[in-house]
Chain A
Amino acid sequence: MSEALNIIKDKTLTYRQELIALARLGESTDDSLRYSDEYYQAKAKGALCDLNEGVMPYRPRYICPDYKVLFEKGSAFLELDPPKDLLEAVNALEIMYAHVPSITTYPVYLGDLDKLLEPFVLKEDRAYAKKILRLFLLHIDKVLTDSFVHADIGPEDSVTARILLELTEEMQLAVPNLTLRYDPEITSDDFAMACVKCMLKTSKPSFANHKMFVEEWGPDYAIASCYNGLKIAGGGFTLPRMRLYECSLDATSPEDFVNNVLPKYVDLQLEYMDKRVKFIVEESTFFTDNFLSTEGFVKQENFIGMFGLVGLAECCNHLLGIEDKKKGFGLNKEATELGIKIMDAIEKQVSEHVAPYCDAFGHRYKLHAQVGINTDGMDDSPGTRIPIFAEPSILEQLEVNEKFHKYFPTGTGDIFKFEETYEKTPEAILPIIKGSLANGLRYFSGYLENCDVVRVTGYLVKKSEIEKLRQNKQSLNNVTVFGQGAQDGGHALDRRVQKADDIISSSK
């Protein structure tokens, strides 16, 4: 059967999912954008991966429009005036979302919803405002059917954020993903606790280290897709990734890897990124003709190339000949220190590379700890995470994370699964988040072990929806299939449950 026929005959695909799959297939038939032979060789053996981004990038991978522009000026292309009340505001957003492209075809950033909507919410009766926001969230979940759709709240408390949290818990929807920009000096404990309680029941919001992001990006940053740090009115051009375990297979020793193998692959990925960034800016019409550009919702200089990687743990373990991952990266000082050495080398080489465009970032790319894809299996753990089934106690896991999160301004994070007693003691979680962010953690996600909406590697799925796919039925959310793959191949939902009787293994 042809690949197209396979797609058409797949009983588990919805119409939209078929359409997207067929479009990708069509795109892959073109070969106008060529890379070096070395790049194709590296890709063939799995050392470099294009994340199925497509051979012909016709829009940036991630786009974070400045929705304030819509509220201040409206849109000529969409024939929308600035909204005057809450109903008009959510209607304008819903219309605009349908026209914000991305790698997934859905918008990966919905805006800082609390700041955008608060002036309108305050003008309405609270119950009425909640009813409108309920329909708004329902629209998002049922029309933007993709868990990489992401909204942000905080750091300040607001009526809008409180209503969104209430609805998130009541409605139990996988879309949108949600982040609290968290700064204990700005965010009240009461508001942060409301977020913790909601997170335990729905796996969201996650907690982003606001201070850290502001220092790197300025105040106008977005958290989009899984946990990607980007500039508002900007976005990410492209995100390929090094699969470090496969890269390490070429090396004869850790020194050989750092001195010879690694620089070669970093260069290949940089060269690949340069070509794609140039193509998007110079060949595609996104920046010259799309209304998002022409009407000032995005500015080309605010886009950045995201240099991704996965599998640092497996790479270090392989280079040191460690077969038992429970004695490897994250639990073994030598392996963790090798990880730091490798990250320092990658960071240095990438920061010395002059990238095309990326004007707002001094013509540089920034690193991204990619969360893995459903076909990675157990070969490459997401970014710099400790492998599933080898996770130490939460304390030790945080201590390792805190060493690595600084490398990744365009995103990294880790996920902690809490046992059910935490449902009655949510106040025990906030000090853990505060302490870890103060110690350099960038992004914290958690959920309770009995949740239906769960965080797989960075995105959210409903366990009940995965069951539908297993029964050969369709799931509305495009991402459910990724969750199924990540669970079947990578046991992503079997991460260690944090219990009160955990003792520190490394102090044994």
Chain B
Amino acid sequence: MTLLAPVNKIIPFSNVDGPSNRTAIFFQGCCFNCLFCHNPETINMCISCGDCVKTCPVQALSFNEQGKVVWDSNKCVQCDTCIKTCQHNSSPKIKWMSVDEVVQEVKRTAPYIEGITTSGGECTLWNDFLIELYKEVKLLGKTCLIDSNGSFDFEKDPRILEVSDGVMLDVKAVGEKWNNYLIGYDRTMILKNLEYLLKVDKLYEVRTIIFPNRDKENEKTVRYVSNIIKDKCFYKIIRYRPFGVREEYQEALGDFTTDEDYAQKYVELAHSLGATKAYII
């Protein structure tokens, strides 16, 4: 049977999903529910409740004979009314694509890119699909990076690492209570992956978001990560930005961007602990 995976979108040229120019492929579905998620519409699979069918201003959404919501990409004007309507953190604009279909898209961008990055959602939920995709992309002479939340047990099933060039790993919170509040998922596997990926030389970069006015938790995470990675991989210090964050969580986390000088202090902390490849974006 042909492998299929739900693709939320493909960005042909991205300068923010790994080094150089990359094609970024976003898969639907995530096992976390981070309060600060910027694209919460990628978290769940569509349940075909039909709310968005009613609100679509150009009738690009409808029910098919099996009662599933289907999306007509030719009629769609990308106004995102459906995403604003959805109460289930999902999107009706998902394409179930085969490896070959995704590879066709990558072939088109191949002359202009260094490689691809798979992201999400959480792309490792589609591990078997990724393995086949990476094998094909490698044949085009391009690199493959995994953007992951760290929930996948890479040590137990290292097949994907064998065909990829590395992982960009989110370490969102090290303090247990703060972690549980922030992402709603146990952090043990993430921290295990941090050490394992470093050991097998597949950790391209770690990312941590710096929240406004959370001195203690910010420092705990940055200290922990810096002490482990040292100068062995990049450490991207990201300022929290409210853009895309669900309104109810903006109240809890802040409706403003982390001050650049405030975040810069954590870059300097990382540098002082030996994580010399830490930088701010």
A2 in the interface (beta carbon within 8 A): no
**Docked-complex contact A428 and B20, CB < 8 angstroms:** yes
Query: A438's contact among B16, B24, B111, B114, by CB below 8 Å, is which?
Result: B111
User: In the complex the two chains form, is A432's CB within 8 Å of B10's CB?
Assistant: no
Bound form: Cα–Cα A19–B24 in Å: 56
User: Would A432 and B16 count as touching, CB distance under 8 A?
Assistant: no
The reply to whether B11 and A502 form a contact with Cβ atoms under 8 Å apart is yes
| A498 contacts partner chain B, Cβ-Cβ < 8 Å | yes
B214 at interface by CB-CB < 8 Å: no
Q: Please give, as numbers and ranges, the residues of chain B lying within 8 Å of A394 by CB-CB distance.
A: 12-13
Bitwise, A483-508 to B at CB < 8 A (1) or not (0) is 00000000000000010111110011
A336 at the interface (CB under 8 A from B): no
> Nearest-CB distance from A390 to chain B (Å)?
15
| A272 contacts the other chain (CB 8 A) | no
Contacts of B24 in A (CB 8 A): 500
With A427-B20, A429-B21, A508-B74 already in contact, the answer to whether A500 and B112 are too (CB < 8 A) is: no
Most B CB within 10 A of own CB, among A436, A438, A504: A504
Q: Using Cβ atoms and an 8 Å threshold, which residues of chain B touch A427?
A: 19-20
A interface footprint on B88-117 (CB within 8 Å = 1, 0 otherwise): 000000000000000001001101111000
A321 an interface residue at 8 Å Cβ cutoff? no
Assess the A508–B76 pair: CB atoms within 8 A. Answer: yes
Give Cα A244–Cα B181 distance, bound, in whole angstroms: 63
Q: Is B85 part of the contact surface with A, judged by Cβ < 8 Å?
A: no
From A32-40, A104-112, A417-425, give the one contacting chain B: A417-425
B9 at the interface (CB under 8 A from A): yes
Which chain A residues lie closer than 8 Å to B22 at the CB level? 428
Cβ of A429: which chain B residues have Cβ within 8 Å of it?
15, 21
Q: Return chain A residues, CB-CB under 8 Å to B12.
A: 393-395, 502-504
User: Are the C-beta atoms of A498 and B16 separated by less than 8 Å?
Assistant: no
A290 within 8 A of B: no
A331 to chain B, nearest CB (A): 13
In the complex the two chains form, is B16's CB within 8 Å of A421's CB? Answer: yes
Known contacts A398-B112, A435-B112; is-contact A425 B16 (Cβ 8 Å): yes
Most chain-B Cβ atoms within 10 A of its Cβ — which of A393, A427, A500, A501? A500
**B127 located at the interface, meaning its Cβ lies under 8 Å from any Cβ of chain A in the complex:** no
Q: Are B73 and A422 in contact (CB under 8 A)?
A: no
Interface string of B6-50 (1 = CB under 8 A from A): 000111111111011110100000000000000000000000000
Q: How many residues of A contact B (CB 8 A)?
A: 27
Query: Is B105 a contact partner of A500 (Cβ separation < 8 A)?
Result: no
Interface residue? B281 (CB, 8 A): yes
Contacts of B73 in A (CB 8 A): 508
Partner of B11, one of A430, A501, A508: A501
- The CA-CA distance from A437 to B17 in the complex, in Å, is 24
In the complex where A395-B108, A398-B112, A428-B20 touch, is A498 in contact with B13 (Cβ < 8 A)? yes
Distance in Å: Cβ of A446 to nearest Cβ of chain B: 13
A500 / chain B contacts, CB cutoff of 8 Å: 11, 13-17, 24
Residues from chain A with Cβ under 8 Å of B9 in the complex: 503
A422:B111 contact, CB within 8 angstroms: no
Given contacts A421-B16, A435-B112, contact A503 B281 (CB under 8 A): no
Smallest CB–CB gap between B60 and chain A, Å? 10
Distance in angstroms from A95 CB to nearest chain B CB is 45
Asked whether any CB of chain B lies closer than 8 Å to the CB of A218, the reply is: no
Which residue of B21, B108, B281 contacts A431 across the interface (Cβ within 8 Å)? B21
A439 at the interface (CB under 8 A from B): yes
Once the chains are docked, how many angstroms separate the CA of A435 from the CA of B108? 11
User: What is the chain B residue whose CB lies nearest that of A504?
Assistant: B12
B238 smallest CB distance to A (angstroms): 12
Q: How far is the CA of A436 from the CA of B109 in the complex (A)?
A: 10
Which A residues are CB-close (under 8 A) to B11? Answer: 500-503
| 5 A-B pairs with least C-beta separation | A435-B112, A428-B15, A435-B111, A425-B15, A428-B21
Where the two chains meet, the residues of A that have a C-beta atom closer than 8 Å to any C-beta of B are 393-395, 398, 421-422, 424-425, 427-432, 434-436, 438-439, 498, 500-504, 507-508
22 A–B contact pairs at CB < 8 A? Answer: A393-B13, A395-B12, A395-B13, A395-B112, A398-B112, A421-B15, A424-B281, A425-B15, A425-B16, A428-B20, A428-B22, A431-B20, A431-B112, A434-B111, A435-B112, A435-B113, A498-B13, A502-B11, A502-B12, A502-B13, A508-B76, A508-B78
Supplied contacts A421-B16, A432-B13, 14 more A-B pairs, CB within 8 Å: A394-B13, A395-B13, A429-B21, A430-B20, A431-B20, A431-B21, A431-B112, A432-B112, A500-B11, A500-B15, A503-B9, A503-B78, A504-B10, A508-B73
